[in-house]
Structure 1
């Protein structure tokens, strides 16, 4: 995709992830002989559609996710309501397979993306160095006035040396600067062969925290390791896949531990594409990992037993199984699932209203990007738990404190 504009590249990646997720639901139903009536990418008015084997395939106006439709409660359907191949009439295990297949599809897709990267260009390996890199200094900023330059490496702050690089190192530096508006902060700077001490007085921002007007990035170099045989290719792929998955799980844990702060960072497709476009400008390797992380996020967040997520639907099925197959009252199910859907819709509206806001990120490398918790939420029709749709809104959390915290 090197010839495509970065925004278009990111959009293609996001569309592919949505298609893969919905294809998981679709194939799990189709292979079991369950009736499927619709397969849609996006929501709202239909932009283009065609029909094949009694299924309507469509692209819709709002690219907030997608859905797979079932004729279970369609009054125009000619299928008898007691047909055993309607989703609602299938055993619990069959329905579990359909609901969970989207997650499985994204996990497999993430692994294949990493495998393709390993085989085609090699596995990026980071070599960390002490300190924090300063890729850019804004004109007339506090840092510029004090003499900080682009390309400098901040090795220490107020007499404390910064450890080997990583997001936590950047965060450590940002925290010191934010806490000292209007007070001198001593920075130990590495500039080529020079070792300098520069005092910077952070300007006070509108939220009364300190800013010195620099862009920050972890200080490391990337080299590539190419597999010598298929065994190494699979080994490298698994190591990278597990590393990314562990990072996503850790980010999710931190999100719930600091939810009051993380809630303000909920974003959707607009933010994802903005970040993805910047990653695409940086490198093809970044785009590979961007796609893999989105898939893993999608899978992890979706298994959470929360209303409007696939995990919420699975939780209701587990309750049904515990009740000996007796279904939960329909009205109660609708209230539970609708509450989650309303939250997602409100978040989507919030993003549309605020889509002009600056989504902050590190430019290089991709691993500096804290992209958290891409998820989906399953939409339901009023008639039943699944109604005619298993739908998915795209939601994510983007960590935006660290890039311009200084």
Structure 2
């Protein structure tokens, strides 16, 4: 149960901030955002604030922001349809009733002759009993359809995604992955202030209770001067020397409060990558300085992103292994293992996943944010958008590829768990 809760909280948080980035920049551009959703499938909770419906859906495996104009409008009114009209104080059409018109006795019922709800925002038609008189009405910029008792805001062209400049659309799409990098950075900064950031000094950090260093009398804060006569200039030097001496006696010269002394330590032998290495039970030294935390957190985001990109490069160049990939099942299993190590380790794992989510979404694959950005950059260079039918075909192929990859990765995750 703890794993389920941890997975939902972490994955939900990453998706929330990713979609929040899209929502904020889309709204700033003036795009009508109909829905902000966490998860897919049936709605289990929803509320509306201003123009946007916020929903939580059953399957916690992603999310979306439904922007007007990205998909064909779900409602289309054609000449010959009969609709009801409700007006505001400016005598503009405020609501267009599609069915159940008997529930709105004050509505003016007309048979539509002409309608333009993109640019002109005008509807004209014939009233019952006045079939020979064609009357036109202005439609409010903030008008609604009413269908089956549900209100759906009408999106004039100037509120649709496609009406915005290329730069505005790029910002709305790129904001999702960028928000993931920002979230990872904030998490790492918080961790830095809580537990400090690692520094590469030859100084002992926190010691494990039953570790060989504590048993030998070493203490947190001891400065390692030399090991077996070899000068230690960094924590990296200390780690490498200890790893080379499993179950071997080492003469460790330390500086404690300005006084040097020699302590004998026998590193414990542990297995790593099929071979035995030494470990004496000490964490690296840490600092809590404000500037150190701020700069180190940024460096960690960059280095982690570089490591992920290196692994992706191996996949592209054929140095491929399914074990390098993990789907929802694999991430769920990893979350359970990490959760056992405490909240701070779980936060660090969340930061890594957030960086990973940001990078993966920027890959130039159709159906991902990176693929959409690629189309927008091509449009910016050409000076005109790509043919919608061609774009839709490429996106369909991209979605099919991602679904196939997800199935393969998920099956591999299941095999690792149960076979």
Q: TM-score, normalized by length of structure 1? A: 0.61
Matched, 1:226 2:287: yes
Aligned position for 2:93? none
* Aligned equivalents of 1:56, 1:235: Cα separation in 2: 38
* Aligned equivalents of 2:53, 2:277: Cα separation in 1: 48
Aligned position for 1:279? 338
- Relative distance call for 1:164 and 1:258 in structure 2 (3 A) is farther
SS at match of 1:33: coil
> 1:75-154 to 2 correspondence within 5 Å?
75-76=74-75, 78=145, 82-124=156-198
- The CA deviation at 1:319 is 1.4
- The CA deviation at 1:99 is 0.5
Aligned position for 2:10? 13
Match of 2:246 among 187, 190, 197: 190
Match of 1:250 among 299, 307, 310: 310
* Aligned equivalents of 1:69, 1:335: Cα separation in 2: 20
SS at match of 2:159: coil
Give the conservation status (yes or no) of the 8 Å contact 1:34–1:87: yes
- The CA deviation at 1:302 is 2.0
- Relative distance call for 1:111 and 1:277 in structure 2 (3 A) is same
SS at match of 1:67: strand
Answer 1 or 2: higher relative contact order, Cα 8 Å, separation at least 6. 1
What are the superposed Cα offsets for residues 202-241 of structure 1, whole Å, 9 maximum, x if unpaired?
xxxxxxxxxx99988986652341323x222212322323
Matched, 1:335 2:334: no
Root-mean-square deviation over aligned CA pairs: 3.5
SS at match of 2:357: helix
What are the superposed Cα offsets for residues 46-89 of structure 1, whole Å, 9 maximum, x if unpaired?
22222222322222222221111123232336566652121121
* Aligned equivalents of 2:273, 2:293: Cα separation in 1: 39
What are the superposed Cα offsets for residues 308-358 of structure 1, whole Å, 9 maximum, x if unpaired?
22111111111112221x221111101111111112222334455555332
* Aligned equivalents of 2:200, 2:278: Cα separation in 1: 10
Match of 2:327 among 254, 264, 268: 268
**Could you list the runs of 5+ residues in structure 1 that have no partner in the other structure?**
129-162, 171-187, 196-211, 361-406
Give the conservation status (yes or no) of the 8 Å contact 2:181–2:301: no
* Aligned equivalents of 1:358, 1:276: Cα separation in 2: 15
Match of 1:49 among 46, 50, 54: 46
* Aligned equivalents of 2:348, 2:177: Cα separation in 1: 18
- The CA deviation at 1:290 is 1.1
* Aligned equivalents of 1:91, 1:42: Cα separation in 2: 29
- Relative distance call for 1:71 and 1:219 in structure 2 (3 A) is farther
- Relative distance call for 1:235 and 1:9 in structure 2 (3 A) is same
SS at match of 2:366: coil
- Relative distance call for 1:219 and 1:55 in structure 2 (3 A) is farther
SS at match of 2:414: coil
Aligned position for 2:220? none
